[in-house]
Amino acid sequence: MRHVDRTDSGGLQAGFQTTQWSVIRAAQTDDQTRRRMVVGNLMERYWKPVYSYLRYKGYDNEAAKDLTQGFFGEIVWGRALVQHADRSKGRFRTLLLTALQRYVVSVHRKEAAQKRRPAAGFVELEMEELPLLDATQAGVSADDAFYRTWAAELLNDVLAQVKAEYCLTGREPHWRVFEARVLAPILHGGDAPPLEEICRDCGIADDVKASNMVVTVKRRFQAVLRRCLRDLVPSENEVEAEFCEILNILARPRAG
């Protein structure tokens, strides 16, 4: 999982400003301008999982980009997929993946040669920093790639929000200790540095204080993640199951 900081200039509300079903409800409106805006934001959130799925289906970079644009333009927007989403019928990501699978089949049937772009240039997804994916990696299916990319993006957003909260409230040392002790070993591999070393680098008085800082940020991270998860599931009772599902997804072989 590659952590992307999205909040350095965005304030406390950058990153997860609204959660998924809040966005979907906002898209279910007769206000065309607002609907375009919120559907566009939802597309930006999901294009990487869609692109990852297509790459693992064997499409090259350009073909996967073209199909990603086409799927969001023709299906998500053109056929009002978001407007028909129903929280009581299950996870939105499952609905999206099922629609994507059907779209790929329909494209094959049509054998369309022309590029598929959103009608009237509705949305041009920014696709810089595309992941370099090995579509033949053993043990990774296209579905795995979709779900793992989705989970990684969700955690990136949560981490960015937590970082912003600490850095913008005068508690940056908390974040630096957490980043060095917990995040860096996960993201870059290797063992966590000793607390004594972290204390020297971050100007912390002693390792007990540093350890308490790590615990505090971990608790905040879990709280923010669970808050986000509440808007991904039909009921409060399913939050813990969703939490475990994300851990299971991330434990699968890496998509790339």
Q: Which two tokens stand for residue 78?
A: 């053109």
User: How far apart are the C-alpha atoms of 209 and 195, rounded to whole Å?
Assistant: 10
Looking at residue 179, its pLDDT comes to 94
What are the CA-CA distances from residue 43 to residues 73, 77, 91, 114, 155 (Å)? 10, 9, 16, 22, 17
Q: Please report, as a single letter, which amino acid is at residue 47.
A: W
pLDDT tier at 27 (50, 70, 90 boundaries)?
low
In terms of pTM, does the model score above 0.75?
no
Share of the chain above pLDDT 90, in %: 27
Q: Is the pLDDT of residue 6 over 50?
A: no
Neighbours of 24 (CB within 10 A): 22
Q: 188 by DSSP, 3-state: which?
A: helix
**What is the CA 29 to chain-centroid distance, rounded?**
25
Mean confidence (pLDDT) of the chain: 78
Q: What is the pLDDT of residues 136-184, one digit of tens each?
A: 555 678 898 898 888 888 899 899 999 999 999 999 999 999 999 998 8
Q: What is the pLDDT of residues 191-232, one digit of tens each?
A: 899 999 999 999 998 999 999 999 999 999 999 998 888 877
